[in-house]
Every structure is written in C-alpha cells, then in structure tokens.
Amino acid sequence: MSMWSTVLVASAFAFLLKLAGFLVPHRWLDGPRTVRVTALLPVALLAALVAVQTFTTRGGLVLDARAAAVVVAALALLLRAPFLVVVVLAAATAAGLRALGWG
C-alpha cells in the first residue's frame, strides 16, 4: 500500500468515525437512561485517557514525573486554582523533576 493511500484511507476512516456519532438520530438517545449514558460517556473516556496519559508509557505502567505533576494539579484544583494556574503548575512540576533527573 502506498504511503498516500495509507494517509488518505486512515483520514477517511477517522472522519467517518467522528461523523458516525453525529448521525445517530437524537430521538434514539432520548430515553432517560440513554441520556444519562451519553452524558457519562465522555467523562469516562476522558478519565481513562488521563489515567493512561499519566501512568503508562507504550502500554507499560510507569510511575514518574507525570504522576507527581497530576497530583499537584489535583491539589491546585482542590484549592480552586484557575485553569491556567493548574496547567502551568503541572508542567513546571514535571519539567522541574526531570531537570533534577527524576522521571
């Protein structure tokens, strides 16, 4: 398969997958339980994504500077820090620990 076909076929699939969610008729999702599930789905996906981004490297479980940074972010959120402060604190924690040679 040529590189261009790989690029274009992967892009077409990516778009069709994105579009699929929009093409499901709203009335199919109108039941009280379905409304609940659809609302919880992104929460579940993003929470799983945060866990994978924080604690894994190429599939292996890892405890490194990212974990420390996310703990700092969670503490900042508990103290009601604004969004940008949370993100900058997390980046600074990870960068700082790595500069010191950890994680």
* Cβ–Cβ < 8 Å for 53, 94: no
Q: What angle do CA 81, 83, 89 make, to 5 degrees?
A: 70
Q: How far is the CB of 68 from another protein (least distance, A)?
A: 8
Q: How far is the CB of 26 from another protein (least distance, A)?
A: 6
- Cβ-based neighbours of 90, under 8 Å, separated by 6 or more: 69, 70, 72, 73, 76
Q: How far is the CB of 25 from another protein (least distance, A)?
A: 10
Binding positions for another protein, rule: CB under 8 A: 1-11, 13-15, 17-22, 24, 26, 29, 32-33, 36-56, 59-61, 65-66, 69-70, 73-74, 77, 83-84, 86-96, 98
